[in-house]
């Protein structure tokens, strides 16, 4: 419709210019009358077309000011309340974290604990992704609304010599509202919250890696422990059989070469078992150190990064909530009176 109106306007202007040229050069009366009739016809058609456009524009303006604008006000108001509720909950969580007592926390990572940490990591990663999408989509939405609004408030002219305007819309109340919304979003430190969530996700990832190493180290020392117990039990049984053999031997008989060899076997087997015991002690100590490292890292990271996370979120949530309150107080027409 807009394109057709522009083409009709151009056609009318050309025909009107042609009439002026004919008058200037003294064209025949018959020719002038035909051109005047054509200009009059185009003028009438142009006015009708532009009135049709004006009717459509009026309907668009009605939908914009009576339907879209109130819904956007409700949207901003609802989002402000949402951020305020989150602010309240995160403020409470911040107090809990600041008084966090981990004295009763497990001293050893279990498979269940690792599974819960993995679940937390996945949730925080999804949180970061959805938060960025929320921010991006909101900014894109407001930008698109502002771009559309620029088109909807352009005055429409007939192009007639008297510059009669079929539609000359005044500045709609939605315009300062959208501009304020856009400007406010630009001021809110959304990246601060997004980076805080991402940093917390990275911390959980490190804890997850350490827990995995601890569990694997425990499995390793338990495997060595089972091997040690098995070989130590076999050695003790062998020693009992050897001692019984020595008791039934002739008392006071000179030591034979076979006896010396058997004693060497005892020492060799004892040495192998002792070597395995040393390996086991080393694996147990490695697990103990790793266990301590995981616990200290987990506790320190959570007590440090959780408050940072909640503080960063509080800044954004407060800004969003205040921004919603400010919109509700702005005198944009009857909706805010």
Q: How confident is the model over 73-89, as pLDDT tens digits? A: 888 888 888 888 888 88
The verdict on residue 276 lying in a domain is no
Handedness of CA 85, 89, 92, 93 (dihedral sign): negative
Burial (0-12, 13-18, 19+ Cβ within 10 Å), 311: middle
Which has the higher per-residue pLDDT, 304 or 35?
Answer: 304
Residue 287: which of 225, 219, 229, 226 has the closest Cα?
A: 219
**Number of structural domains the chain divides into:** 1
3-state secondary structure of 104: coil
The verdict on residue 244 lying in a domain is no
pLDDT of 291? 87
Which has the higher per-residue pLDDT, 249 or 156?
Answer: 249
Q: Name the β-bridge partners of 165.
A: 157
pLDDT of 6? 63
Q: Where are the beta strands (DSSP E) in the chain?
A: 156-157, 165-167
pLDDT tens digits along 217-263: 989 989 999 999 999 999 888 888 777 676 655 455 455 555 556 67
C-beta of residue 305 within 8 angstroms of C-beta of residue 195: no
0.85 exceeded by pTM: no
The verdict on residue 163 lying in a domain is yes
The verdict on residue 54 lying in a domain is yes
CA distances from 128 to 120, 309, 316 (A): 12, 12, 14
C-beta of residue 139 within 8 angstroms of C-beta of residue 36: no
pLDDT of 57? 74
pLDDT of 159? 44
Q: What mean pLDDT value characterizes the chain?
A: 79
Beta carbons within 8 Å of 200's beta carbon, 6+ residues apart: 124, 305, 306, 308, 309
The verdict on residue 213 lying in a domain is yes
CA distances from 308 to 155, 194, 254, 334 (A): 51, 12, 81, 42
pLDDT of 312? 87
For residues 10-24, give the mean pLDDT.
74
Q: Supply the range of the domain harboring residue 23.
A: 2-230+285-336
pLDDT tens digits along 262-276: 677 778 888 988 999
For residues 1-7, give the mean pLDDT.
58
The verdict on residue 193 lying in a domain is yes
pLDDT of 153? 64
Most confident of 12-16, 52-56, 69-73: 69-73
The verdict on residue 247 lying in a domain is no
């Amino acid at each position: 419709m807009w394109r057709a109106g522009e083409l009709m306007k151009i056609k009318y202007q050309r025909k009107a210019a042609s009439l002026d040229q004919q008058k200037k050069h003294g064209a025949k009366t018959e020719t002038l009358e035909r051109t005047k009739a054509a200009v009059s016809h185009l003028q009438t058609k142009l006015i009708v077309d532009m009135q049709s456009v004006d009717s459509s524009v009026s309907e668009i303006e009605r939908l914009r000011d009576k339907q879209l604008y109130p819904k956007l006000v409700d949207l901003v108001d609802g989002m402000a309340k949402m951020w305020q509720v989150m602010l309240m909950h995160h403020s409470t969580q911040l107090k809990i974290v600041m008084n966090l007592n981990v004295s009763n926390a497990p001293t050893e990572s279990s498979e269940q604990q690792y599974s819960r940490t993995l679940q937390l990591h996945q949730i925080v990663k999804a949180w970061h992704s959805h938060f960025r999408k929320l921010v991006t989509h909101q900014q894109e939405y407001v930008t698109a609304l502002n771009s559309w609004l620029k088109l909807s408030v352009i005055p429409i002219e007939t192009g007639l010599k008297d510059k009669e305007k079929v539609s000359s819309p005044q500045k709609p109340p939605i315009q300062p509202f959208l501009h304020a919304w856009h400007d406010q979003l630009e001021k809110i430190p959304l990246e601060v919250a997004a980076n805080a969530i991402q940093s917390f996700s990275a911390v959980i990832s490190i804890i997850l890696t350490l827990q995995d190493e601890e569990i694997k180290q425990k499995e390793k020392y338990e495997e060595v422990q089972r091997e040690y117990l098995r070989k130590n039990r076999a050695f003790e049984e062998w020693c009992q059989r050897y001692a019984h053999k020595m008791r039934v031997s002739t008392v006071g008989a000179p030591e034979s070469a076979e006896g010396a060899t058997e004693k060497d076997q005892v020492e060799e087997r004892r040495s192998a078992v002792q070597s395995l015991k040393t390996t086991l002690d080393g694996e147990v100590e490695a697990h103990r150190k790793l266990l301590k490292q995981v616990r200290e890292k987990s506790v320190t990271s959570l007590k440090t990064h959780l408050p940072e996370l909640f503080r960063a979120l509080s800044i954004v949530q407060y800004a969003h909530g205040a921004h919603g309150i400010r919109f509700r107080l702005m005198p944009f027409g009857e909706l805010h009176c």
